[in-house]
Amino acid sequence: MNHFISVRDVPNPDALVEESIRLKQYPFAHQNLGKNKVLGLIFFNSSLRTRMSITRAAYNLGMQVMALNVSQDSWQLEMEDGSIMNEGTVEHIREAIPVISSYCDILAVRSFPGLKDREQDYKDRLIRSFAALAGIPIINLESATLHPLQSLADLMTIRELQKTDKPKVVLSWAPHVRPLPQSVANSFAEWMIAAKMDLTITHPPGMDLSVKFTGAAPIVHQQENAFEDADFIYVKNWSSFSDYGKFANMPEWMVTQEKLALTKNARLMHCLPVRRNVVIADDVLNSSHSVVIRQAENRLFTAQAVLKKILEATQ
């Protein structure tokens, strides 16, 4: 594995899950792999789980870590070729990216979408520019359209808990109080499809995702119908793809115990942070159905598997 930007960089998602499961059991078994190696973390947006889990993952492999918090005010990057940089941007990516990468062995980057200009956001230019210009492996810590480290942890969690060969997995839209990116939902859909899950997506009319990511997965507009016989319910809010960035707060889409009762005793999943009693009701999160803490815990071992595969490939 060279870069880890989308599921397309992963030859075999389930092999990566198996590696993650081994690392969960023996986290310190590969400490020489990262010796003299440094992971650079570049945050154009804030991060908590992702930052801590990949930092710990790097430490477990014997790597050192350098994090850079880029406030977009203080270090605005120019991405256009030929522009006259006499305004806000202070450095061009043609300098910034090769320079930063010369100090690191692997670079991981987080940068959210603006949610104003769909065409711009969906080019995912910043992370793609890093991959093109860095000369070292790039890891996506959540880009404008994708969050593959989250999806890999989600897949691992399902593999740990599934009771049938091909569980029914439902990705359900849920209410929120402000517009959120589509990245978690996009990635979840493409990873589930890559892993040949039985995926159903449910959302209100107009709150659609790009078919580029949802592929042939059935889209259901009645949440209750979608939940029938489900083994896993993955809850997440996202803003509209077609009416780009539009958000809706429809309290009737909150996930409750009553809705969970329609499922086949399903496990409840969410990437966190979750607003209780807005996205998911308290009694669901407090019940044994919820596996959200396990998902977050698995972020560490899946990040470690990604780092391990990249380190092995660059030996």
Q: Does residue 284 bind a second copy (CB under 8 A)?
A: no
Give the C-alpha separation, 148 to 183, whole Å: 9
CB of 128 to a second copy, least distance (A): 19
63 token code pair: 């790597």
Among 207, 233, 292, 310, binds a second copy (CB under 8 A): 292
Instruction: Fill in the DSSP letter of residue 171.
Output: E
Q: Does residue 81 bind a second copy (CB under 8 A)?
A: yes
282 token code pair: 């308290």
Closer residue to a second copy in complex, CB, 10/280: 280
Angle at 231 between CA 163 and CA 247, to 5 degrees: 150
Q: Does residue 297 bind a second copy (CB under 8 A)?
A: yes
Among 95, 117, 243, 312, binds a second copy (CB under 8 A): 95
Answer yes or no: are the C-beta atoms of 173 and 208 closer than 8 Å: no
Q: Does residue 282 bind a second copy (CB under 8 A)?
A: yes
Q: Which of 126, 95, 92 lies closest to 111, judged by CA? A: 126
Measured torsion, CA atoms of residues 38, 310, 121, 253, in degrees rounded to the nearest 10: -110
Among 12, 46, 72, 265, binds a second copy (CB under 8 A): 46
- Which backbone phi and psi does 168 adopt, to 5 degrees? -85, 120
Q: Does residue 90 bind a second copy (CB under 8 A)?
A: yes
Q: Which of 107, 75, 109, 114 lies closest to 92, judged by CA? A: 75
Q: Does residue 177 bind a second copy (CB under 8 A)?
A: yes
Q: Does residue 6 bind a second copy (CB under 8 A)?
A: no
Closer residue to a second copy in complex, CB, 53/214: 53
Q: Does residue 265 bind a second copy (CB under 8 A)?
A: no
Among 11, 82, 205, 216, binds a second copy (CB under 8 A): 82
Of all residues in the chain, what percent are helix, strand and coil, respectively (each to 5)? Answer: 40, 15, 45
Q: Which of 214, 152, 171 lies closest to 12, judged by CA? A: 152
Q: Does residue 218 bind a second copy (CB under 8 A)?
A: no
Binding footprint of a second copy on the chain (CB under 8 A)? 27-28, 31, 36, 38, 40, 46, 48-49, 51-53, 55-56, 59-60, 64, 66, 68, 74-75, 78, 81-87, 89-92, 94-96, 98-100, 102-104, 177, 272-278, 282, 285-286, 292-293, 296-297, 300
